[in-house]
Amino acid sequence: MKLRSLTIKKATEGLKQKKFSSVELTKACLEKIKKLNPTLNAFISVCEEEALKDARKADKAMQNGNTSPLLGIPIALKDLFLTKGIRTTAGSKVLENYVPPFDATVVKKLKDAGAVIIGKTNCDAWAHGSSGENSDFGPTKNPWNTDYVPGGSSSGSAVAVASDMCTASTGTDTGGSIRLPASFCNVVGLKPTYGRVSRYGIVAMASSLDSIGHFTKTVEDAALLLSITAGNDSMDATTPQKQVPDYPKSLNRKPRELMLGIPKEYFLTGIDPEIKELTTKALSVLRVSNYHTQEISLPHTEYANACYYIIQPAEVSSNLARYDGIRYGFRRETFGDEAKRRIMLGTYTLSSGYYDAYYKKAMKVRTLITRDFDEAFKIVDAIIAPVSPTPAWKIGEKIDDPLKMYLSDIFTVTANLAGIPGLSIPIGFTKNGLPVGIQILGPQFAEETLFEIGKAFEEATQNETWRKRKP
């Protein structure tokens, strides 16, 4: 049994049955990190000493009858999540030596559930990027082909799960930063409803768009993690007083007949033929699995990228203003090119004379995009769409052309603008051996529906040969 390749569910069962210990499981992941991280660059900080200490505590707690849901499970954190006593860099040299005095709410919840924090994963600096190439600590590489990008900004988190360096990991999704790397690395990635998971203690990118999610090996594991991280937080006013469902339990109920919407705007010219072919095959599988499909229209999709790349840099410029080199961190000259680009763009669109022309107009378009989804969900239960118009591209291919890089988010930014949840699941590989995923989108707080559809697809394809492939 390869311990490091286990899902959360299988690892938890093995620990309870005393087939292995948390120390053994954690050591297996640490060994994989030592072997692969010099090549893949998925981790910025590895917490070997702390992880083994926590694993020993978990083993002792298990002997004393503790049944916490993540007890002894090694989990990696995107390096935007503040961790008490452990360096948090946000992928930027500005915070190269920053050690937070407290844990983010999500980190505290994971620790309270018994998780073993194994390390902090690489990401585009300040989460600015779609490829993982904008990290000040060097690019993360795709484990399926190291010449290619793994997707960003949560690049290291996706790579860590895909290559069995941990059992699960956390990420943030502001315009596709969980769903894109999940698709490019062949793992499950969840972007929850805006506000479903607390943002407190997580380095902010664009505060009205940031969603806090995670990467797992199965949909069932994704449901389990959300049941732990979701919920109201007095430190984050955007988290609603809304009960958190028992997501894992809801997966055991009888499957429902659901109507799935296929947005015609996501299948126009420009989409890679292999992406279209694999998505069409996935839809055929879902139809056989008791689901119905219907073409729908999201007419304002064509304006989504322009809208997003006005609102997001505006909020970036505001959030990065706090890093002045006086209270903590290094001077602003340490910012990388992409951070400087977004600060300038955002400051420009918020400046006198341009606010009405750009920012205010973009906010009106955001309302129209949200309304498109509201109307669509009156006739369908969920929406199925590609995550990206192309598979992963080669490292360096788009880094000097920001506009081309920004276009890779064209299918994902709409969910963030509307605040709805999205689940990326693997659907196969291109002829060149690169993974491809689809995203399942639903109404706000409809994560249960997304998990239900995602699990149905996993079960229907469990015997497919591509399911058994490892990087």
Which tens digits make up the pLDDT trace of 199-237? Answer: 999 999 999 999 999 999 999 999 999 999 999 999 999
45 versus 353: the higher-pLDDT residue is 45
Give mean pLDDT, residues 142-170: 98
Q: Is 154 a catalytic residue?
A: no
| Close Cβ partners of 45 (under 8 Å, ≥ 6 residues apart) | 79, 86, 87, 89, 119, 120
Give mean pLDDT, residues 377-392: 97
pLDDT over 90, % of the chain: 93
403: confidence class by pLDDT, cuts 50, 70, 90: confident
Q: Is 155 a catalytic residue?
A: no
The one catalytic residue among 32, 78, 217, 398:
78
Q: Is 80 exceeded by the pLDDT of residue 150?
A: yes
Domain count across the chain: 1
User: CA 198, 414, 238: angle at the middle one, nearest 5?
Assistant: 20
- What does the alpha-carbon distance between residue 297 and residue 204 come to, in Å, rounded to a whole number? 32
The secondary structure of 84-95 as a DSSP string is: TTB---TT-GGG
pLDDT in tens, 122-135: 999 999 999 999 99
Q: Is 90 exceeded by the pLDDT of residue 139?
A: yes
Residue 37 has what pLDDT? 98
For the chain, the average pLDDT equals: 96
Give mean pLDDT, residues 60-84: 97
What pTM was estimated for this model as a whole? 0.97
Give mean pLDDT, residues 34-55: 98
What tokens were used for 46?
Answer: 């590895």
Q: Is 68 a catalytic residue?
A: no
Residue 180 has what pLDDT? 98
Give mean pLDDT, residues 150-176: 98
Give mean pLDDT, residues 160-164: 98
Give mean pLDDT, residues 422-444: 98
Closest to 83 in 3D by CA, of 100, 105, 106, 97: 100
Q: Residue 73 belongs to what domain range?
A: 3-468
Q: Is 80 exceeded by the pLDDT of residue 466?
A: yes
CATH assignment of the domain containing 384: 3.90.1300.10
Residue 140 has what pLDDT? 98
Q: What is the dihedral of CA 81, 179, 229, 105, to 10 degrees?
A: 20
328: confidence class by pLDDT, cuts 50, 70, 90: confident
The one catalytic residue among 21, 22, 153, 157:
153
Secondary structure (3-state) at 173: strand
| Close Cβ partners of 300 (under 8 Å, ≥ 6 residues apart) | 365, 368, 369, 372
Give mean pLDDT, residues 67-92: 98
333: confidence class by pLDDT, cuts 50, 70, 90: confident
401: confidence class by pLDDT, cuts 50, 70, 90: confident
407: confidence class by pLDDT, cuts 50, 70, 90: confident
Q: Is 80 exceeded by the pLDDT of residue 406?
A: no
327: confidence class by pLDDT, cuts 50, 70, 90: confident
Q: Is 90 exceeded by the pLDDT of residue 53?
A: yes
The one catalytic residue among 177, 183, 211, 227:
177
42: confidence class by pLDDT, cuts 50, 70, 90: very high
Q: Is 90 exceeded by the pLDDT of residue 241?
A: yes
Q: Is 90 exceeded by the pLDDT of residue 60?
A: yes
